[in-house]
A and B are shown apart, each in its own frame.
Chain A
Amino acid sequence: MIRISVGPDDFDIAVETARVSGQGGGAIASFIGQVRDDGNLQSLALEHYPAMTEKALHKIAETARADWPLHAVTIIHRVGKLAVGDNIVLVITGSDHRGAAIEACSFIMDKLKTVAPFWKKETRTDGTTKWIEERASDVDASQKWDLRKN
């Protein structure tokens, strides 16, 4: 089962984990990304391309399901204005064994960060704003999976 959700609302990790657990298997891996306090960050504004976002996330989840034996994949990503410490993204994978669950969760996050059409704009405590730029380390992490498959 694949569950994709994109919107402004926060998520309930217990509820989402139970949903994945209910699909069988004994290994569940999850990742939660939150707004990091790096000193003088006020808030983040997350923009996305609604017509493309869910399609892109579905494709990532389908690829993960084709490459690992997964019972369930959940991807939830928030948009709109978020404060320091707020949840941004949740990925949960369920499988029979931990290796598949953990690897697939890692794969999904690496791809999400480089493929899913979201953009972050930060507002500093002094009021200045800036669009966050792509990180080379994220691109490398994403490409490493493609190389591994070849």
Chain B
Amino acid sequence: MARSLDIVYFAWVRERLGLDQEQVALGEGIETIADVVMMLVARGGVYAEIFADLAKLRFALDQDYGLPASPLGSAKELAIFPPVTGG
């Protein structure tokens, strides 16, 4: 059975996509956060615009920060969002 991953989006990433979450199937060779992002960029359109510049984005795997090179492992949820601005 294919692996799947829930992706959640926040702030302007969520607004520009018009989507707060989606589930994606992980094909062969999709092993890191960067692999997932490249898969999203390949969809083109607004995905390509938003996810082309990784420096503008932050990532969390199962609610812990990760880097583009971080392996997905058995994570269930990937969050993609802009740098935080609370406080």
A residues with CB within 8 A of B: 33, 46-49, 51-52, 55-56, 77, 88-89, 109, 112-121, 131-134, 138
Q: Is B47 an interface residue (CB 8 A)?
A: no
Q: How far is the CA of A118 from the CA of B82 in the complex (A)?
A: 10
**11 A-B residue pairs with CB within 8 Å:** A52-B64, A88-B86, A113-B85, A114-B84, A117-B10, A117-B60, A118-B86, A118-B87, A119-B82, A120-B85, A132-B85
Q: What A residues does B81 contact at CB under 8 A?
A: 49, 117, 119
Would you give the shortest CB distance from A119 to chain B, in whole angstroms? 4
Do B60 and A121 touch (CB < 8 A)? no
Out of A55, A112, A131, A133, name the residue touching B86 (CB < 8 Å).
A112
B residues with CB within 8 A of A: 8, 10-12, 60, 63-65, 77, 79, 81-87
CB-CB nearest in chain B for A118 = B86
Q: How far is the CA of A46 from the CA of B86 in the complex (A)?
A: 8
Q: What B residues does A56 contact at CB under 8 A?
A: 63
Q: How far is the CA of A95 from the CA of B8 in the complex (A)?
A: 39
Q: How far is the CA of A88 from the CA of B86 in the complex (A)?
A: 9
Q: What A residues does B10 contact at CB under 8 A?
A: 47-49, 117, 119
Q: What B residues does A133 contact at CB under 8 A?
A: 82-83, 85
Q: What A residues does B11 contact at CB under 8 A?
A: 47, 119, 121, 131
Q: How far is the CA of A45 from the CA of B60 in the complex (A)?
A: 22
Would you give the shortest CB distance from B44 to chain A, in whole angstroms? 24
Q: How far is the CA of A117 from the CA of B18 in the complex (A)?
A: 20
Would you give the shortest CB distance from B64 to chain A, in whole angstroms? 8
Q: How far is the CA of A116 from the CA of B10 in the complex (A)?
A: 13
Would you give the shortest CB distance from B75 to chain A, in whole angstroms? 13
Q: How far is the CA of A119 from the CA of B87 in the complex (A)?
A: 9
CB-CB nearest in chain B for A139 = B83
Q: What A residues does B8 contact at CB under 8 A?
A: 49
Q: What A residues does B65 contact at CB under 8 A?
A: 115
CB-CB nearest in chain B for A46 = B86
Would you give the shortest CB distance from B84 to chain A, in whole angstroms? 5
Do A55 and B63 touch (CB < 8 A)? yes
